[in-house]
Structure 1
């Protein structure tokens, strides 16, 4: 093995030499499916935007393995985002060669754990991992990636050989743990929730004490995501169009958007709008929500709603908290729903309901979001939109999430639970 490669590997695997390594604030307990797959042969794929904590989770997995008595030399880690490895991305024998060399050096080890960070940076990753899986039964692969198409494009190669898990920024419960709040009172939950709405749940941002630095870090994250995971991998030349589109979308989270109108407003083609939004979704920066319809064709044809990965990004890049706190609240509710459920849609007929939760082929939950119901016109609008959705999908109960208000209502024989966000997130 080339000595430079050996040095690079040794610097990334401090446990080989019984040196300490940083594992951050405990998060592994929030991912029981990870622990459940560790003894299975299948590859574990951890997906999510940059800086959401995927690398830290891998280090926590490594720490857990060492605590269980796994030999230090049985764990091989590579961060392919580092310049030395990034420069070798087009070498088809890189990973298999490293693995074979490491196995040969440690013939007494019965089971190896291969951990690779930012696997999408390696051009031949799918071929290499498939080869290792098929020929090295003693190797367990644990991979992280920052683009969702990583799996979509290569899924046929790894079919039946992997488990996947999406890593989001911190949930509110994780956020409280990072802040050192073990058993928060209602007052404490409300106080912390305002900061959570303002600055989001990226772990590094949560741990930063200075508000000015929080905003700067978030801006840096935003630029890194659109440069490394949108512009570079898709080889986009006209960066200004992408920047303008992303800014427009993040400034309009929760708003019903027409691709044609966006194209006209930004003076770019509709196909370009669709393409760039797909790239942003692929990088986990943005999510589109479709209007629910039992006809898939109608779902696709109808206007979409856009939500961002993290409310902190919206606050740092597009508008401040005080300008549109209600939209940040709605965005946060969407991300919380997305963590728990697969299919999220919105309802629109005569009136509108923000979110529908689909299980199988059935709508099982309707959720409306508003900062406050104190204004009578707002109260009427939110209730009639929710009731229309409940009627349309035969739901006996519905929820209105607010900033701080709670109430129990019965409208047309249907129960409506008005729940403050800090309580709803705890449900």
Structure 2
């Protein structure tokens, strides 16, 4: 491929070339990245494939240009473009060199996106070189390998990770054209909000799935296959592909369940060490997340069963369409709390004594227990959920407890805040703030 041909491909990626696209905005991510770039030179956007990392990066560049930066002071490099034959480190260097020789006109800072960086071994050296010259770099990738300790060292620790997830409830409503500019909107649009919760519970929040619900199942199967084949089997050279698939599907259909590697090993007839290794791989490609049991004692935390959650309910729909609504609801709430806890540098757990509390958000010496219940019309069910939260407070201390329910009005029971999902999922920051 000669320089002219490569420049033509680059023009298709960039605003100084042929690239034109309108997005439904994901302002929360865009504004956060822009704030980070004021103080650091490298931001890494990570997350599961198809969650929207590339579109967030491109929206960041578009917003920078809207604020007055010359398009020629920006570069988007899409390393997953199928036209990049024999893609390697030298090709990436050529792309950067062609940009600075043929596009760049000023001495100003350049804003560079390296999209799907893990496609090229050695990408981190290019990023470091750009950053050390004062340029601002956005790196996207769908594997935790993107942020492993070896790369952190090469980047001198001067970068920040922003995890991009499938759509939250607030984002889904934007995608659906539902505007909530003031409190009155939330009161007058309860039906639209609850419809959004229902969609997230059953179809999940991958942007293209939300926009193309008629082919949701096909898209979700395709996403699963790509994550398993390319991000796990291909990257980690897995020989027993069938066992890896079986384990992934087992975890997806067990979302919200407590597991141990020993129990999974016996059930699936896979060696314990293999279960542990495969589980780590699946977590690293962001399709799952695991929670430890909460305790003020580290030993108890480390030796307890872990709880598994899928990152998006759409996968549950594909592999277990008869999953209970209670499990789907708990999984949805856990996904939102997990996303929020990461952004706020909190820790997330579950708690188990004689009773279980679904989620516990903790920071330093403070903890907030969260119970999730789809239906509390049955007085016995309600009392059981309340008992678990009171038991947590008795054993672990604290003065705040939350019970998130599918529908209803906000109220207090025995000092416990009962919150409908439409309020909790839209305003996590109001309920999960710790005392300073």
For structure 1, which segment, 268-277 or 296-305, has the greater mean C-alpha deviation from structure 2 after superposition? 296-305
* RMSD across aligned positions (CA): 1.9
Distance 2:264 2:130 in 1: 46
The TM-score normalised by the length of structure 1 is: 0.91
CA 1:258 to 1:39, structure 2 compared with 1: closer, same or farther past 3 Å?
closer
Secondary structure of the equivalent of 2:280? helix
> Hey, what does 2:43 align to over in structure 1?
44
Alignment partner for residue 288 of structure 1, among 287, 290, 303?
Answer: 290
Whether the 8 Å CA contact 2:30–2:56 is kept in 1: the answer is: no
Q: Give per-residue Cα distances to partners, 1:294-352, cap 9 Å, x unaligned.
A: 333432221111001111221222234xx411111111111111122131101111111
The TM-score normalised by the length of structure 2 is: 0.89
Secondary structure of the equivalent of 1:391? helix
Alignment of 1:359-374 (within 5 A): 359=363, 361-374=364-377
Alignment partner for residue 127 of structure 2, among 121, 129, 136?
Answer: 129
Distance 1:180 1:270 in 2: 48
Q: Give per-residue Cα distances to partners, 1:182-222, cap 9 Å, x unaligned.
A: 13522222222212211111111111242xx1122112111
Which 5+ residue runs of structure 1 have no aligned equivalent? none
Distance 1:86 1:230 in 2: 23
2:421 paired with 1:421: yes
Distance 1:12 1:188 in 2: 36
> Hey, what does 1:145 align to over in structure 2?
141
Distance 2:313 2:320 in 1: 10
Whether the 8 Å CA contact 1:42–1:163 is kept in 2: the answer is: no
Whether the 8 Å CA contact 2:11–2:19 is kept in 1: the answer is: no
2:333 paired with 1:333: yes
> Hey, what does 1:165 align to over in structure 2?
162
> Hey, what does 1:375 align to over in structure 2?
378
Whether the 8 Å CA contact 1:22–1:59 is kept in 2: the answer is: no
Shift of 1:175: 0.5
For structure 1, which segment, 108-117 or 363-372, has the greater mean C-alpha deviation from structure 2 after superposition? 108-117
Secondary structure of the equivalent of 1:16? coil
For structure 1, which segment, 235-244 or 79-88, has the greater mean C-alpha deviation from structure 2 after superposition? 79-88
Distance 2:30 2:395 in 1: 35
Count of residue pairs the alignment pairs up: 413
Whether the 8 Å CA contact 1:23–1:56 is kept in 2: the answer is: no
2:259 paired with 1:257: yes
Distance 2:336 2:261 in 1: 26
Distance 2:130 2:417 in 1: 52
CA 1:410 to 1:209, structure 2 compared with 1: closer, same or farther past 3 Å?
closer
Distance 2:107 2:76 in 1: 16
For structure 1, which segment, 311-320 or 139-148, has the greater mean C-alpha deviation from structure 2 after superposition? 311-320
> Hey, what does 1:81 align to over in structure 2?
80
> Hey, what does 2:301 align to over in structure 1?
299
Whether the 8 Å CA contact 1:199–1:315 is kept in 2: the answer is: yes
Alignment of 1:213-362 (within 5 A): 213-320=215-322, 323-341=323-341, 342-359=346-363, 361-362=364-365
Q: Give per-residue Cα distances to partners, 1:210-238, cap 9 Å, x unaligned.
A: 2xx11221121111111121111111111
Alignment of 1:97-112 (within 5 A): 97-105=94-102, 106-112=104-110
Secondary structure of the equivalent of 1:156? helix
Alignment of 1:403-422 (within 5 A): 403-406=406-409, 408-411=411-414, 415-422=415-422
Shift of 1:173: 0.7
Alignment partner for residue 186 of structure 1, among 168, 182, 190?
Answer: 190
Whether the 8 Å CA contact 1:287–1:309 is kept in 2: the answer is: yes
Secondary structure of the equivalent of 1:85? coil
Secondary structure of the equivalent of 1:170? coil
Secondary structure of the equivalent of 2:84? helix
Shift of 1:148: 1.8
Distance 1:10 1:110 in 2: 20
CA 1:72 to 1:409, structure 2 compared with 1: closer, same or farther past 3 Å?
closer
